[in-house]
Each structure stands twice: as structure tokens, then as C-alpha cells.
Amino acid sequence: MARIETPNRIRGTQDIFGEDQRRFARVLETFDHVRKLYCFQRVDIPVFEATGVFARSMGETSDVVSKEMYTFEDKGGDLITLRPEFTAGICRAYVTEGWQQYAPLKLVTSGPVFRYERPQKGRFRQFHQLDAEILGAAEPAADVELLVLADQLLRELGIEGVTLQLNTLGDAETRDAWRTALVAHFAAHRDQLSEDSLVRLEKNPMRILDSKDPQDRPIADSAPDIDAYLTAEAAAFFKAVTDGLDAAGVQWTRNSRLVRGLDYYRHTAFEFVTDRLGAQGTVLAGGRYDGLVGNLGGPETPGVGWAAGVERLGMLIAEPAAERMQVAVVVEAAGSEAAAIGLLAGLRNAGISAELFASGSPRKRYDRAMKANPAMTVSFQQRDGEVSIAQRVIDGDGVDADAVATLVSGAAR
């Protein structure tokens, strides 16, 4: 008989189990807790969209669109892409589902996203993100709200050693003037730029500022700062954001080289970074994108948001304790299975986690139950031909012993 070959897990994906799953769940539970404190609504959007949604929102020449998207033609001949991020899909829904009537909207979502890139520590081809957005609010208070939410999320997760890096991209007038100055600066050093930066010089010169190529760094570091080109309105917007963060007690540092390349980005850009993950130090990032909804064919709508990698956050938190069984129901007496099942149902209906040990050698069932580390045991035992029920509190650990005793008493009748 031919040997059946076992299929392997696809490279860049993961089977999340045990400690990893507990970390994953802890991040999601904390995110849901904090979003409720800030009165953000939960939304869920499709895992795939028409390819144009991402091409128009992220830029045809961006690395994600040109190199990393999972794009395919479906059976109807439509070009479909698995989502590489959430913001574009949320903005598409804002336009197509008529959500403008609810603006300003404070929204969160989470789930898997997909990018074809080289897998490494904390980076997968199918990974998971948290996402928070505010649509329809042009005021700097919206930027502050999102940044304070992000800061509280990291604090409630117990993550230390993370720095909020903040910059302004100014308004349209600021960006145009700064872009012109950057093009002149980089063009004067064209012969020293990397090949990737030469391409960016023609299509997206601001992205040269965050180039990781050592060849580009001296030129990028000597480029003109945006502050020289800020309009009074743009400077006032940035000051309102930093004043709001100061009032909320959120620590931040200025990074004048932090940019977002696409033209619809405005004003605030930010990243929460750490040195605990090696080169992949960004754990949460976002900014204001006032032109994106219009770029997708909707009305001109201000927007600001951020995303964070669940896997990276999970790597930074303390290991969560495993869920503990509260009551182990052990059947040692023959013929007691039905009564034990009834007690088990009663415990669970009362909100008490319980597990039944009624298979295998009757002599070994109690030992097997103890290996599961329950807070209490309830044993159906046989002595001198009589069945009795014995309770044992091991350490309590939050179990309502009186409630268990009442249920046991009912099972004994």
C-alpha cells in the first residue's frame, strides 16, 4: 500500500496553540476591554476585496501593492485580493454601506491579514492585526483619542519599554512645499542613491526618508525638515495634538523623519516602537489620512487610525496563566455515570468549569484528575456496596464551594 504523504503547513502561516494561543487571546481580550472604555464600535469586514480597493488606497508603486499582495482571479473573472490591512476595507464600507450618516464614527476591528513577504520573528504571511479608526472627525482631538487609546492598551497589556514617536506631515500646502524641497535635495545626490530610492524619487520621494539602505541614510539624514515649511494652521494642529497628549499623561518623542508617502496622508504620523523585537521594532503605527475616502470615490472625509500586530504584542506580554479547571468530577463507583453527568451539567449551567473523569481504569481516574490540577474534586465512590459522593477542596481558587455543595447534595438524592 502506498504511503500517504502528510501535507505540511504553508510557509509563513502558523498553528496557534498552548502558550501562544493564551498570549493571542490576552491581546484580543484586552483590546476589546479598552475599546469599550473609549466607546468604539466593533465592525467586521470581508477578508477579501476587489484589488482596486487596495491599489487605490495604498498606491500602485508601494511595496505592498507591487510585491506583497495575495491577488487572484476568481471564477467570475474578477480580480480579488486578500486584505493586506484593514483601513482600505473600512473606508470602502464607509462609502458603499452609507455609514456617512453615522459620522463621526469610532470603529475597531481585528483579524487575519495577508502579505507575501519573507517570514521572520514576529512576521508571517498570514498574521493578525488590531485596528482602530475614527472617520468623519477633522479635529486634532480625534488623533489624541486614538493615541491615548493605544497608550492605554499597551499599559493594560503590561508592555514596557515602548516609545511613541510622533511627527507632523502638515496640510496640503505644507506637503507640496516640503515635497518640492525634498525632490531638489535628493536630485542633487542622485548618483549616491540606491536603486530603490531612485525609483521613489520619481514617484514617492518622501519614502526615501525612511529608507533602511545604509547607502541612503546620510542623504536622508541631511534632507530638509518639514518644520521649515509648516503653515500656521498645520503647526497649530500639531501643537493641539501634543498638548492633548501631555494633558493625558502620554509620553512622546518627536521623530522628524517619520513619514507616510501617499498624498492623502495629512498631519499626524506616529509609531510605537521597542528595541525588544530586534529590527522589527514597530508594534503599533498609524496616522491621519484625510484624502483616502475621497480617493475611493466617496465624499471628502477626514480619517485617522492605527494598526498593531497581535503576534508582536503577544511576544511582549508576560505569559498568561493557563485556564484552570474548577471542578473535576470523578466516577470511581460503577453505575454512577448518569448521576455524574447530571452533576456535570448542573455545575456548568451554574458557571463553574468542570470536567468528567469516567473512562479508563476506575483506580486511576482520580490520579488522572489530579494531574489536570483542578481547584476541587467531586468523587463518586463505592464503599461497602453503597455509593457516596466526596468533595475535596484543593485550594479553592475562586470556586464557590457552597454552590458546588448544593449541587452535589442534589445529585446525591
CA dihedral (91, 203, 283, 26) in degrees, to 10, reads: 30
Residue with cell 474534586: 377
| pLDDT tens by residue, 68-101 | 899 999 999 999 999 999 999 999 999 999 999 9
Mean pLDDT, the chain cut into blocks of 10 residues (413 residues total)? 86 94 97 98 97 82 76 94 95 96 97 90 89 98 98 96 95 91 91 88 84 88 92 97 98 91 86 82 94 92 96 94 93 91 94 94 92 93 82 82 88 70
Q: Which amino acid is at 244?
A: G
Q: Which amino acid is at 105?
A: L
pLDDT of residue 390: 87
Q: Are 364 and 355 in contact (CB under 8 A)?
A: no
Q: Please state the pTM of the whole predicted model.
A: 0.90
Give, for 174, the enclosing helix (H) or strand (E).
helix 172-187
Q: Are 94 and 100 in contact (CB under 8 A)?
A: yes
Q: Are 331 and 365 in contact (CB under 8 A)?
A: yes
Q: Which amino acid is at 314?
A: G
- CA gap 123, 262 in Å, rounded: 24
Beta strand segments in 143-237, E: 162-168
Q: At what angle do helices 172-187 and 195-203 cross, to 10 degrees?
A: 140
Q: Which amino acid is at 346?
A: G
Q: 105: closest CA among 293, 322, 359?
A: 293
Coil, strand or helix: which one is 2? Answer: coil
Backbone angles phi, psi at 162, to 5 degrees: -110, 135
Using CB atoms within 10 A of its CB, is residue 403 exposed (0-12), middle (13-18) or buried (19+)? middle
pLDDT of residue 280: 63
For residue 10, the number of C-alpha atoms closer than 13 Å in the C-beta half-sphere is 7
pLDDT of residue 413: 66
- CA gap 215, 220 in Å, rounded: 10
Provide the phi-psi class of 153: left if phi over 0, else alpha when psi is between -120 and 50, else beta: alpha
Q: Are 329 and 347 in contact (CB under 8 A)?
A: yes
